[in-house]
Structure 1
């Protein structure tokens, strides 16, 4: 380093070396090294200028030069804050986009949803992937989602059925969709469901369920009602009328025990 400083004092440095020396001298951590050279020179006054430059004079000259070295202006605080916000927003957007891409790719690889019909038979027993079951009455249909890995496992019912929901893992729900705006979800229950035209009827035979009305508008709030054993909820999508009362479930499910 001393040789490079000597070259600088003698104007023998190229442009790159000159900028490096000035940057080195601007670093406070290097001041002790230069002061050590000064002290060494003071203790040995016999050293000629040819062998070693006057370090003290060089220090003063350099300090004057470095005052005129242009420095990068500091950005206003509001600009740095906005830059951080923009960076975070970009990262969040990328993560969300990646998540949606993975989800769409995964869904594209899944098989099609399965559709079951009872036809003219009095009823049909269908076993679901989580060991739940659907007992379809005559002329009824159920569509079963092919994706049961997520917390919301779904079936879509048209007609009349009894759904025996097996115990779900913690945080998971089985969702029974009837019509465009009615979802019945539960962790474990035995539920009678009847979907005809624009009317959805749900009766709890065992367990507890959430009867959910989903509005079509984005600003409309979703309404949710808790139903327990013997509770019935009936919703008409045409009139948007909801009827809730207590009934005897066996009066509606006795057909499952016939024959």
Structure 2
């Protein structure tokens, strides 16, 4: 266990899976709890005040915890067991009882802190990094580089909803009560889901929603009108500003083009150099120029591997696909013809 992960946990910056790892570590040994308390000294004043408030607010819980420990105390056990064993409980009382109370209080403080303070979870990915997130209902989200996902820590009394910036592939579990799953995007765009698999790319220049299976409803709203678009498997919606167009991939698009990145490959289906360089900048934060504008309209088909956290390899693959040469001057990268 690392100090960094424990502090992320208490600052509400860890993922759902990381929360579980930290909690299991805390429960496994009193020494781990003590170590975590030392690391908590690095929390800010505001975070410390918030933690203290949680402890004070948990007074009823403390009483219940101590009562439960007392029920297991030597006095109660002696009434139920043979007097000849009383010396064992006496030794236990002097050596372990107060330590048990202290550890239980500390652990309960951690638990209260988690469930009170972790009201919202935010997961952010670095450029070039892909992360899988397991949501409270068991649904999974594969988050592409330079993306963020927000959701409530617990959905027991909260709706199933997330807020997305960037790109993600969703596998949403269908619930017995048929409760809806919502994805909130920018500009009053909302995706409403039952149980399905779909890909969402929410970037500055364009938004795309591709449905692999199931059924979703896209809600669009602005100050003048509202529009609802129902998607069936294989359908794609592209939004560029106020321009909304519906494309049926069975006729013109390879569906894997929109979720191949989750398998670490880039599916190219008549993809232009312009599209590829835009994706490169969105996901890897690397800007690449070209020798002239006409080069940007060239197109290729096929696939190339995605090199996580290695934009240079990807740039080299793109240059080879289009038979171009890479020129580097300081931090500027330019693609030029080989002639």
Q: What TM-score, normalized to structure 2?
A: 0.40
Aligned Cα root-mean-square deviation (Å): 2.3
Give the stretch that moved more between structures: 141-150 or 172-181.
Answer: 141-150
Name the SS of the counterpart of 1:116 in structure 2: strand
Which structure has the bigger radius of gyration?
1
The aligned residue for residue 145 of structure 1 is 152
Name the SS of the counterpart of 2:259 in structure 1: helix
Contact 1:117–1:142 (8 Å) recurs in 2? yes
The aligned residue for residue 113 of structure 1 is 120
1:235 corresponds to 2:242: no
CA distance in 2, matches of 1:150, 1:188: 20
The aligned residue for residue 244 of structure 1 is 246
Deviation at 1:199, TM superposition (A): 3.2
Structure with the bigger percentage of helix? 2
Deviation at 1:124, TM superposition (A): 0.3
**1:130-164 deviation digits (Å, cap 9, x = unpaired):** 00011011111111133523574111111111011
CA distance in 2, matches of 1:233, 1:191: 11
Deviation at 1:233, TM superposition (A): 1.1
* Shift in alpha-carbon separation, 1:111–1:209, aligned structure 2, 3 A: same
Q: What TM-score, normalized to structure 1?
A: 0.52
Task: Name structure 1 gaps, 5 residues minimum.
Answer: 1-108
CA distance in 1, matches of 2:156, 2:130: 28
Greater RCO structure (CA 8 Å; 6+ sep):
2
Name the SS of the counterpart of 1:180 in structure 2: coil
Count of residues in Structure 1 that have an aligned counterpart in Structure 2: 147
Contact 1:159–1:194 (8 Å) recurs in 2? yes
1:129 corresponds to 2:136: yes
1:224 corresponds to 2:228: yes
The aligned residue for residue 191 of structure 1 is 198
CA distance in 1, matches of 2:117, 2:181: 19
Task: Name structure 2 gaps, 5 residues minimum.
Answer: 1-115, 266-339
CA distance in 2, matches of 1:145, 1:222: 27
